[in-house]
Chains A and B, each alone.
Chain A
Amino acid sequence: MASIDTTPRKAADDSDIPNISIQVEFSGGLEMLFSSQRRHSLSLPATEQGTPITIASLINHLCNHTMKDTRKELFILDDHLRPGILVLINDADWELEGEEAYELQNGDNILFVSTLHGG
């Protein structure tokens, strides 16, 4: 499994690439890490260095740009999404969709749900 590169990337090389729009949702307590906002609409370049953008890149983007909380390790651990966080791609478990390698499609709805928080 390719690891998630957490170093911020410059936006300059993305300038001529068409964008795709996706909806990202956080629940189960994760929204607390993302300005307590459940839904985020994102526009991302459709490709990255010539290959279609994957969920791994999305997670990287969320961590570097969307997440204001400094506790990055609550979202990314050892270069991967923290175990215990479920990902649903258009309501389907990402384990059925290739996990981090899934290539994002325009209009996708990506839900991140924490199983780690208590009641």
Chain B
Amino acid sequence: MPPVLCAICHTERALIKRPKNHQKLCKACFIRIFEDEVHHTITSSELFFRGERVAIGASGGKDSTVLASVLKTLNERHGYGVDLILLSIDEGIKGYRDDSLETVKRNAKQYDMPLKIVGYDELYGWTMDQVVETIGKKGNCTYCGVFRRQALDRGAKMLGIKHVVTGHNADDVAETILMNLLRGDLPRLSRSTSIVTGSDASAVKRSKPLKYAYEKEIVLYAHHKKLDYFSTECIYSPEAFRGSARSLIKSLEKVRPSAILDVVRSGEDMARLVPGATSDSCGCKGKTPSSHASADEDNVGGCGSANGQATGGEMAAMDRQLRENEVAEAANLETEITTTKTTPAPTSTSTSNGHRPDKQRIKERSKPGTPGLPIIPKQKLGTCEKCGYMSSQKLCQACMLLEGLNKNRPEISI
């Protein structure tokens, strides 16, 4: 086969075939277009402001390493004027995090960024090793995921930083959309599509600058830029590798590469139809206010290797909440029908406080099919009674899990 030339520069040999449009590119043009597209996502969604301090959730893996590298490049090239800091979480799993933390330490030097490592032990009084010792290997991903989510926010708070960026990519988002679709959880589906979450609801805003980047291109970017990253599989969830949603996404990509971004777009479109929720598609299509997602509920993946997957344990832990959501969702759908009579069809800008009045009405109109079920508002954003972290329940998820753990703490654990 004669070498194919790059579709952009027409001089160099093409080395990359882009999954989203089959474009064949040389190394230099690929790297440039990858960076330009992330820049487009950042500017069109107005992710940063000048002088903002931004923490990069860094695991030493491919996604966060590429994120750190690209953000550094773009910050310098386009003069964002943001102050970038690496923030890593140490779950306390011997033989797992040690090597990846070493990678993050090297990254900090390579990218000339300060690094802060926060441990589960100092945040929660438990390392994941101790959690597993207590509850066993089954369902421990739930603990890890809930703890991790808050850990980034708490770590950011310790640093006085109000914005955390994570390396979630298009594959991760598509995976989460599918999982939520399969669970019938539209409110969470809606939140998982947002590029920014928690901005107005909490002290710490989250965003995903790589939301539209294919995992394949992230890996190729890391390869061609010779980035130093670490890949591993969590020792407590080897089966995570075979995650069903992940396999499904990868098989779809094989048959039709555009499927991943198509799922992301479908998710965004569906999100707009979810009452009381908003989602932002790429900001250039029209700015929408960020969602009211509470950080503890925006469940984009439990842990890095098991993104968006539901293990049996996770399902059990979320069961109560899912039940409430289902009820609230059913009620919301019904409200939707009644409101369409009086108000114009909801547009992408119908957001914010449309929530509470709806609920008042819901309470008056008991749903015929479900007489026994009380209708519980699904999102009343408050703070956790115990730790003060924002939560939609009395206790935040982390404190709920900790309560159970502390009851079962083995007396011999010294």
Contact = CB atoms under 8 A, between A and B. Distances in A.
Interface of A: 27-29, 32, 73-74, 82-84, 86, 88, 91-93, 95-98, 111, 113-119
Interface residues of B, number: 46
Contact of A118 (B1, B242, B251, B306): B306
A27 to B, nearest CB: 7
Interface stretch (B223-231, B333-341, B403-411): B223-231
B229 A119 contact: yes
Contacts of A82: 250
Given A98-B1, A119-B60, A119-B64, A84 B15 contact: no
Given A32-B233, A95-B17, A98-B1, A118 B305 contact: yes
A43 to B, nearest CB: 24
Nearest to A102: B1
B216 A115 contact: yes
Given A29-B231, A116-B241, A84 B246 contact: yes
Contacts of B65: 119
Contacts of B1: 97-98
Interface of B: 1, 4, 13-17, 24, 27, 59-65, 100, 167, 171, 215-216, 218-220, 223-224, 229-234, 240-242, 246-247, 250-251, 253-254, 303-307
5 contacts: A28-B219, A93-B17, A96-B24, A118-B304, A119-B232
Contacts, number: 92
A91 B246 CA distance: 26
Nearest to A84: B250
Given A93-B15, A113-B223, A119-B63, 4 more contacts: A29-B231, A83-B254, A114-B231, A118-B61
A117 B305 contact: yes
Q: Give me the 3 closest cross-chain CB pairs, A-B, nearest first.
A: A119-B61, A118-B305, A118-B304
A115 B233 contact: no
Given A96-B17, A117-B232, A83 B247 contact: yes
B104 to A, nearest CB: 9
Q: Could you say which of A97, A114, A117 has the most chain B C-beta atoms within 10 Å of its C-beta? A: A117
Contacts of A29: 231-233
A78 B303 CA distance: 27
A77 to B, nearest CB: 8
Nearest to A113: B219
Nearest to B230: A119
A86 B15 contact: no
A93 to B, nearest CB: 5
Nearest to A88: B223
B247 A118 contact: no
A93 B16 contact: yes
Nearest to B167: A119
B216 A86 contact: yes
A51 B13 CA distance: 28
Contacts of A118: 59, 61, 231-234, 240, 303-307
Contacts of B251: 83
